[in-house]
Structure 1
């Protein structure tokens, strides 16, 4: 089915096969921005996935991210838990998030997609879009919350909002809890992978690409257990120290956009060109910024044994095949970086109370268990970690479909 909707939106919907369940393409009437919403799957009538903004964002990119969200939701299915994974979705806007017009573009996109956010799509921040900006703009377009669609399937919406308030008002060592949970999960995925490959934290080095909420927290919690973070990459380049960077100082002094304050560098810290980030000698590489940054043309620069995907789709399929052929393993995004999304719903549906204590315990146990399950499948069946993760997700999605309506 296809139709034309107001507000310069085109939409299509159809039965699930290898295609998305529902897609819209939005054309801004006041700029050259184009936006997309893809709902890959609905579970109990609701889907989940963030909204990104970047110049060059495409419909195919958003489709891939939406499918990834279906997997990211599905792997966290636990029989008997209050949180039943939602369907996968994603939004994207092809526009420069640093432009002074970005907020206006975002507001008009939210206005055009408000009926979907209200009823079908629970959404939040992603690359180039901050949750604080979304929360500020939503009341202007008649919405109360970016996750109000989920209130249709939660038992007590008022209690859910109370738990969310606890979670989003919590601060841990100078950083808000919601900025830490995703990277904490990535760190736990990295540590689980390291343990399976006999990589002791004290003998392991890491490079983190991106120093926003995901990359910053990953660096914090790897450094906390003794991993030497030798490189951090931001939009200005690379900061590097073979002996290890002072992650905590750099974390607490970074900019709102995740840029390292170069005035806080110590003697021995060096600034390198951004082109050098892949070739730094380190055991673990964590791409935590943008999609498709590791491809078949640059993967040969990587010297790490392990790549842990903190960003969504940072490694292309072609690059991953080449990496595997030379013994580099990739812990896939829909397992490694799934804690942010799962944490939201654990809090919302009541599996945790929103406090840092319960949040970190739950993330640690689930991400470690999922990583171990993935490695068990990979090592037993002789397949890649991604193939193992797909099999794990497929089993869980099948279990969900046995109990709940999926579209």
Structure 2
């Protein structure tokens, strides 16, 4: 069933604030701000899943299609015990803006299931994934709403989901979902796309961000897929990884941590703290990582990790938001006052949705590109949009976050105005 927007929406309210701040710099009709201020549709469902012991458990799930002015909605599905409708709608809003920043023909969407996937067997996880598709089948589709992986979901989950959707549709539907296994129509270059896109932003703006003149030390908060790939990209380019953290601990070494060794240990043990004792690497409190001495801080974990209580401790010159919403609005103000440049998530981590767009295009054409072509196309888009946002920030004398939202809102405004308003009068 379609549910009304919850009254208590602190995360979405913060996101709306970014939209309103961007609107101050543009001539935007109030009706467009009204349209973009709330989601087009959100659906809540109860998923009944058979466990391996033949009992049944219910899981609350959501899917939000925030706005589809620029095209089908696009956004990942996360499995997390703290998932909520507020979070889903906020992430869908950010996806809308992210796609507009990259000038992709997508609107914003997002989905989630409130579950700790670590408590499920592989078979239970597959049944949960298929139940999600059955519940939200009317909302989704290759020309309506296109999911992708997110926190605690991966190519295997996407493979189960596309198989279930194709069974319901009665024909193969590879363009229904992105981030799939290569064998089911996935794209080359998708697994490292988020980090690669963020790395292109760093390199394209390296001089402007004053990274070329610093000691190129890096701390990465969150060492999942994106964090691991970012560590290796930066390591190969001469940056020194001095700090790493995950959900189970953190390590620091002023002399540097070998990124490839860190990835190997993480894969073998499941925790970066297992690096402790190797080559002078020491454990530290994960909460202290953001205060560690470094030039570049890369939050690659969850939302609101840098907030009003700890933002003043940040020593980095630049924060690259590889995660979605890792810096709160109050923290933003503290960081700006302290001279810290924040490269916002809707630019910094947009490489993932950009290569997802490439995958969708390839699926629709049934013609697949070589890896070099994907890398070339991704770099061109990331370079173009990061440069545009930097120049806009200078012209408007705003932060990179505000300039990114101005950039997105301008494109959304143009699309809404181009479509007109008279053809969708629901009062008639």
| TM-score interval, normalised by the smaller of the two chains | 0.7 to 0.9
For 1:355-374, what per-residue CA distance to the aligned partner results, in whole angstroms no more than 9, with x for missing partners?
22122222222212212211
8 Å Cα contact 2:72/2:105 also seen in 1: no
The 5 Å alignment of 1:8-407 reads 10-12=2-4, 16-29=35-48, 30-31=56-57, 33-43=59-69, 46-77=72-103, 84-100=104-120, 103=125, 104-118=127-141, 120-140=144-164, 142=167, 144-145=172-173, 147-148=175-176, 168=186, 170=188, 177-200=189-212, 203-255=215-267, 259-260=271-272, 262=274, 266-349=278-361, 354-401=369-416
For 1:167 and 1:202, how far apart are their aligned partners in 2? 42
**What is the CA-CA distance between 1:32 and the residue it aligns to?**
5.4
**What is the CA-CA distance between 1:67 and the residue it aligns to?**
0.7
**What is the CA-CA distance between 1:226 and the residue it aligns to?**
0.8
For 1:222 and 1:106, how far apart are their aligned partners in 2? 34
8 Å Cα contact 1:117/1:146 also seen in 2: no
Q: Which one is further off, 239-248 or 44-53? A: 44-53
8 Å Cα contact 2:308/2:328 also seen in 1: yes
For 2:388 and 2:283, how far apart are their aligned partners in 1? 39
SS in 2 for 1:90: strand
**What is the CA-CA distance between 1:333 and the residue it aligns to?**
0.5
For 1:124 and 1:168, how far apart are their aligned partners in 2? 11
For 1:230-254, what per-residue CA distance to the aligned partner results, in whole angstroms no more than 9, with x for missing partners?
1111122112221111102322453
For 1:255 and 1:386, how far apart are their aligned partners in 2? 34
For 1:333 and 1:278, how far apart are their aligned partners in 2? 17
**What is the CA-CA distance between 1:63 and the residue it aligns to?**
1.1
For 1:123 and 1:250, how far apart are their aligned partners in 2? 31
For 1:354 and 1:220, how far apart are their aligned partners in 2? 24
For 1:347 and 1:133, how far apart are their aligned partners in 2? 16
- Unaligned runs of 5+ residues in structure 2 are 6-33, 49-55
8 Å Cα contact 1:70/1:87 also seen in 2: yes
For 1:237 and 1:374, how far apart are their aligned partners in 2? 35
Aligned residue-pair number: 375
For 1:327 and 1:21, how far apart are their aligned partners in 2? 37
**What is the CA-CA distance between 1:268 and the residue it aligns to?**
1.4
8 Å Cα contact 1:253/1:261 also seen in 2: no
- Aligned-residue RMSD, C-alpha: 3.1
**What is the CA-CA distance between 1:405 and the residue it aligns to?**
8.4
Q: Which one is further off, 345-354 or 391-400? A: 345-354
8 Å Cα contact 1:234/1:258 also seen in 2: no
**What is the CA-CA distance between 1:324 and the residue it aligns to?**
0.8
Q: 1:106 to 1:73 in 2, by over 3 A?
A: same
For 1:204 and 1:289, how far apart are their aligned partners in 2? 21
For 1:261-296, what per-residue CA distance to the aligned partner results, in whole angstroms no more than 9, with x for missing partners?
826973212222222211111111111111111111
Q: Which one is further off, 356-365 or 337-346? A: 356-365
For 1:354 and 1:117, how far apart are their aligned partners in 2? 26
Q: TM-score, normalised by structure 1?
A: 0.82
Q: TM-score, normalised by structure 2?
A: 0.79
